[in-house]
Amino acid sequence: MPLPDPAVLTLLIGGAVVAGWIDAVVGGGGLVLIPLLLIVFPSMAPATALGTNKLTAIWGTATAAVLYLRRVPVDRGLAAASVPVAASCAALGALAAGAPSSDVMRPVVIVLMVAVGLFVARRPEFGSASAAGSRPIRRGRYAAALVAFGVIGFYDGIFGPGTGMFLIITLTALLGQSFLTSATLAKVANTATNGGALVVFAVQGDVWWTLGAILAAANIAGSVLGSTLVLGRGTGVVRVALLVVVVVMAGKLT
């Protein structure tokens, strides 16, 4: 498939920058880039849009993960353990993509997002613990976090919207740590979920490599901007961004 004309390509590049920024801050960039791809290319198969988005997003998310890990102290063992769990479960989800109807998945995700938004809005102290003050991770919580990586990874492969947000909220609740610490672990796991799903889409021939590579560079730029904002401003930015994304995503999926 030939690349679009310069004006359309510029629009897509702008969308990829915005998606990278959103993913770096809290997650949800796919809700920008995937619809944009389908609008610009009406004949594009949804699976190809998903696969091309994964190719684009993995680079931005990996960039954010590296930048966060340099500045935010986390349990490196848990971060490393999340990679194979999240990647393999996302691959399984991608294999099953399309099995549950989006008409079934959409209302479930909307309800979950609204519940998350209400919970965070009503609990201002939630996620405000300092990274350095987070309690040591006990074995049971460690195991629960790995289960969460697997479940949310599968969700990312089979449907996807809000993966980063769900990771941040779940890890904060399970481990009692700050949004910033949870966001760092989420970036590592989300890179893995993108990679696992990308392998499946690539094997199935559902990736537009040339376009995806161009958009990946733009996604990295957006990721650097978003990561710089969060690392400079801290947990408060993540909290505000999370609430905004919940509202926007719920409206987008309605």
The confidence band for 179, taking pLDDT boundaries of 50, 70 and 90, is confident
- Rounded CA separation 168/170 (Å): 6
Q: pLDDT tens, 204-236?
A: 999 999 999 999 999 999 999 999 999 998 777
Tokens found for residue 5: 């004309």
C-alpha distances in Å from residue 130, one per residue of 21, 181, 190, 235, 242: 24, 8, 23, 9, 18
Q: Residue 130 above 70 pLDDT?
A: no
Q: pLDDT tens, 190-211?
A: 999 999 999 999 999 999 999 9
Q: Is the pTM of this model over 0.75?
A: yes
